[in-house]
Amino acid sequence: MDIVLQPVAFVTNDRQHTNDDFWGSVSSIIELAPGVPSEAFDGINNFSHLEIIFHFHLADKSKAVFKHHPRGNTNWPAVGIFSQRKRDRPNGLGLTIAELVRREGNRIWVKNLDAIDGTPILDIKPVMKEFLPAGEIKQPAWSHELMKDYWA
């Protein structure tokens, strides 16, 4: 079965490379793609955060892995691709919760989006508390180490 998706928007920012850390200072503009009316953003200012679903368009599909040491660090366990957020994924999809700063027409400004300049956006959804986990979030110690400088 083929699934064909078209970008609904594109990212503009100063980040040109897919480095793993230091995303905290990156501010991004998400501009709707041609053919997507600005009305698609109506009401978005009523939300503080958005789920941004995007495509790792520069990732080499031949490097997709199913089990790997995160960031190649053998001090951390080899885990399946669905136990990490690596960009070398079977379908090349990324998902981040970003903070909405403002909207102007067919553009929104966001913080804490770990997507590089030119990244195609596949969907945008508002964050609602009712969709967030109700209980405590559990994660292994290595993941805290991995994320230490991610948003620095």
| Predicted pLDDT of residue 23 | 72
Asked if residue 72 belongs to a domain, the reply is yes
Asked if residue 2 belongs to a domain, the reply is no
Of 123, 106, 108, give the one whose Cα is nearest residue 30.
108
> Is residue 4 a contact partner of residue 105, using CB atoms and an 8 Å limit?
no
Q: How confident is the model at residue 146 (pLDDT cuts 50, 70, 90)?
A: confident
> To which residue do tokens 């990212």 refer?
11
C-alpha span between 13 and 80 (Å, rounded): 31
Q: To 10 degrees, the CA torsion angle through 18, 21, 24, 26?
A: -20
The total number of structural domains that make up the chain: 1
Asked if residue 81 belongs to a domain, the reply is yes
pLDDT tens-place string over residues 18-61: 777 767 788 999 999 999 999 999 999 999 999 999 999 998 88
Question: For residue 76, what are the domain limits?
Answer: 9-146
| Predicted pLDDT of residue 22 | 65
pLDDT tens-place string over residues 76-128: 999 999 999 888 899 999 999 999 999 999 999 999 999 999 999 999 999 99
Which CATH number does the domain housing residue 90 bear? 2.40.30.70
